[in-house]
A and B are shown apart, each in its own frame.
Chain A
């Protein structure tokens, strides 16, 4: 296709882009004239806070993407090297290509954030710079190394494809992750310092007097590091799945469709699988915040921000439903999947009940009459569902249900041949049942013990769920050894609506990230640096959730628009080679779902 054809084919887009660009150009003089008389240095139209907020949030979304995708790429490359599966290698390379473009977007937004901070909040910035100056130089320096590694990693892909060179190439990928993680840890120290400066720092302390290491490794630093690391992997997986969904919907050949169906499955699996661990990291972070300052903890969980968690529960409920929905639809393309189809409705009931319990507010919104009938904002019967015990129980059961969906997926097309298959399956079922009962037991028992003991219970619930997941999975892998197959998965034969579920998942993850960003930053309330430096600007008050939601939505839309651009560019650079495979994977059944390009058209509706 020559350039002219390409331009003609995309003329709708080009016109749209020109129109948006023209409007921006027209708006520019207006913005330049604009000044808020009473606020002096305020950012035009949206105000300084929203400006910094949006820049920081979009920067973080891109950063999460460029940190999450390399993890994904390295794992995929490892599977291709050690599992001898070529298609994982193509997968890894395809992501790295997206990374190149996304990387510069991250840097652009980071630069914008930096300039906004230095011009709009100079006092805060110079304070932070005085404490963290040295680490800021290291931070910038690491970018040179990281970029060099990234470019080497991508452009040597074909050259170092075989033998020892391939291992070296994989090492580069690991290095890329190391640099990225270090960079993130450094930046995290600045923002966690703002939330939890060491106790001996007071408003009188000159920044030059603050000990660097105590400021760097402050109370919430490590919890945030871990939390973000996990969340980045989740986010990377979700974006990859959305990319695959887009390609799937646009695919013209059955081969393409099969490839992108499979890619979407892998991305989603990683996103949801890693996501199951995230609540535990969040729990640790919350605990550290409570330990650092009870007032801050109560503001976060019970006070001003308590409704934020209801909104969060709503989002996570959507995630669980969408993820299971995707898996259940997927059963339709696995031979033997129909055996499990009747059970999905019971799992759905568990998920819906869990969702209801999880999103039941402790104190309800009610009119006067309703309040009078309830005798307060606590419902006499549903009130018990508002407490942590009920919510922990609900979310643990939802996790187990999602895990069960995944198990069904794995088992669908296999006929185990090991002698103890029946015993194994029964023991799997027993472990799951016992785990559910234990989780329920602690949930109910939690109402009869003091809070301090109950908090301990949530740890037991988490441990039993983790143990169950690991144990059942190990048994499952062993059972699947040498299993006969009922036929390969018909990749590509997926109804289109399943792909939209992947979009819902990625939008939800992105929005959730924005919401949690607001939570992390908002608990500081009117402090730039908690109980050390006050926010004296006109925007010192912490906004209500409605306004925050609007800003978050703006960030999400900006991010998605740009990531769509990145995908589009990524698609232009190089069409992935989808030559039918010369050598079919030898033991695909053991290492993952088999990949069988189907020549039948997918059943869409």
Chain B
């Protein structure tokens, strides 16, 4: 056993096994121990990570002449030596079975919907039609912010948020409202650096005004339950609630460079 641990072949297998354990169970369960939320890694990403590790392991075993020879030795022995006949037969039966099982598992009919993709931030239109009025999106600034009516807008946005948005996006803007668990995709968290902090205010305005139905083709497949708020709110209301979101989450909207 001790001797085997020195062999590149077994070392490689151990590295692969440890990586799998870390990625599969380490990522979802270790960060919560230090108070960071986490979740299981989707299968597609897990496969991608494991492939990368496997390529890395292959590079390691073969970048040195001696190691490469020793790595190949157990494989060769298993395939050639007369006294390893049982191992050989077992491998020749098990490996094809494994491949067959993986193939079956990928193609067998299932009830759950196939994995989907969507563009995170689909490109916004240059201008939108807001209940018959054209509103320019590209390069637009929040007019309320520009006019310095921040305090007033914040209060108005506060009211609107609690009337209309809170049930899904939650008290803490974390996407954990009362209804949140009924939806897939779940309502977006508005906190943190990866959602609205990446976007300009006019982009957020567009998303609120047009909601799920107004997503461009490239945002599909997408079954967002977000309503098109232009039917319920005025233009200024939406600007106000946009401003409120940023103020409340304590982040500033993305700005473009002056040019």
Contacts and interface: CB of A to CB of B under 8 A. Distances in A.
Contacts of A381: 27-28, 31, 36-39
A310 B139 CA distance: 28
Contacts of B116: 365-366
Interface stretch (A60-68, A266-274, A367-375, A575-583): A367-375
A361 B41 CA distance: 12
Interface stretch (A18-26, A202-210, A345-353, A465-473): A345-353
A513 B121 CA distance: 26
B52 interface: yes
A261 B185 CA distance: 55
B146 interface: no
Given A303-B119, A321-B56, A373 B40 contact: yes
B130 to A, nearest CB: 18
Interface string A296-307: 101100111011
Nearest to A317: B52
Given A364-B45, A603-B65, A306 B120 contact: yes
Interface residues of A, number: 66
Interface string A186-207: 0000000000000000000000
Given A306-B120, A495-B65, 17 more contacts: A298-B123, A303-B119, A325-B62, A355-B56, A356-B53, A363-B118, A365-B42, A367-B112, A368-B112, A370-B40, A371-B184, A373-B40, A374-B42, A375-B175, A376-B186, A381-B28, A451-B198
B254 A452 contact: yes
B6 interface: no
A335 to B, nearest CB: 14
Interface of A: 290-291, 294-296, 298-299, 302-304, 306-307, 317, 321, 324-325, 328-329, 332, 341, 344-345, 348-349, 351-352, 355-356, 359-384, 386-387, 447-448, 450-452, 455, 495, 497, 603, 605
B139 A382 contact: no
A21 B252 CA distance: 64
Interface of B: 27-28, 31, 36-45, 48-49, 52-53, 55-56, 59-60, 62-65, 68-69, 112-126, 138-139, 175, 184-186, 188-189, 193-195, 197-198, 216, 218, 251-252, 254-257, 259
Nearest to A362: B120
Contact of B194 (A291, A362, A364): A362
Nearest to B48: A359
A349 B59 CA distance: 11
B186 A295 contact: no
A299 B53 CA distance: 32
A294 B189 CA distance: 25
A373 B44 CA distance: 15
Contacts of B251: 450
B40 A294 contact: no
